[in-house]
Structure 1
Amino acid sequence: MGARTLGIDLGERRIGVAISDTGGRVATPLTVIQRSSSPTRDYQHIAGLVTEHEATAVVVGLPLSLDGGSGPAARRAEHEIHQLQAALAVPVLAHDERFTTVIAERALAESGLNGRARRRRIDMVAASIILQSWLDTQVP
């Protein structure tokens, strides 16, 4: 059995989570974690998913500016990535997530889901796009 990777889309209210197949080729939306008042509790939830799915790494979306620079959102994500690295027993890697939410929103709109259903799924779909993008860079 191969290694699985967890993909994370850090939102202000929700954390989208995706998982790769054991071959490291395909990302699938997994779940959405509603943020609690405790980042530690949220990270424990992610740690539980790492253990449950036997993930060997976590890829977190890094919202770079259109020009590739680090704006306020990227700096917040970088800070949270450092916190996740301290909380998880597997490597935590940052990956450029520019346009992933736009792509996810478009895909969900084209699927015919209404606004409420799209909002419930957008974060985990964005996480799967982030993870798929990273997986595509890993395959020779």
Structure 2
Amino acid sequence: MRIMGLDIGDKTIGVALSDEMLWTAQGLETIHRKKLADDLRRLQEIKEQYEVERIVAGLPKNMNGTLGPRAELVQELGTTIANELGIPVIYWDERLSTVAAERTLLAADVSRKKRKQVIDKMAAVIILQGYLDTQQAK
């Protein structure tokens, strides 16, 4: 069993996967969004290839903890993904995940061009790893 982590944006979806022991998250890819049907097809392929049984989607809360329009869009897409793929979608507070990803990439001296290509995938890793860490603590 694996868990898929998603960082859902308007133009891209960062995708990460857990290892089979559910200890670590690794970046898989960045889906460049075109049509919803294409996005769902790719997510279905990943689900089947890696035997994913659950998805953790980053929920972009406001800094005061409330949900804004962006979070509502993520929840709508999450519901669609859950229905289409037939597996549960769990929402994880992603506040500052992209900032953390950017800092990690800067610390690794990754070029600006390369950062732009991997930032969403890295944010998905941070979201999924946060979720996995809390599950290990239980």
Which range, TM-score by smaller chain?
over 0.9
Aligned partner of 1:42 in structure 2 is 39
1:81 deviates by: 0.9
- CA distances 1:35-79 after superposition (whole Å, capped 9, x unpaired): 01x112101101110110111111110001111100111111111
Q: How much is the aligned-residue C-alpha RMSD, in angstroms?
A: 0.8
TM-score normalised over the length of structure 1: 0.95
Partners of 1:101 and 1:138 in 2: CA distance: 22
Query: 2: distance between equivalents of 1:62 and 1:47?
Result: 21
Match for residue 4 of structure 1?
A: 2
Instruction: Give % identity.
Output: 36
The match for 2:122 is 125
Correspondence 1:90 to 2:100: no
Q: Which residue of 2 aligns with 1:106?
A: 103
Listed as ranges, the gaps of 5+ residues in structure 2 are: none
C-alpha distance in structure 2 between counterparts of 1:12 and 1:104, whole Å: 18
**TM-score normalised by the chain length of structure 2:** 0.96
Q: What residue in structure 1 maps to residue 132 of structure 2?
A: 135
Correspondence for 1:61 among 58, 71, 78 = 58
Query: Unaligned 5+ residue runs, structure 1?
Result: none
Partner of 2:18: 20
SS of alignment partner, residue 18 of structure 1: strand
Q: How far did residue 136 of structure 1 move? A: 1.1
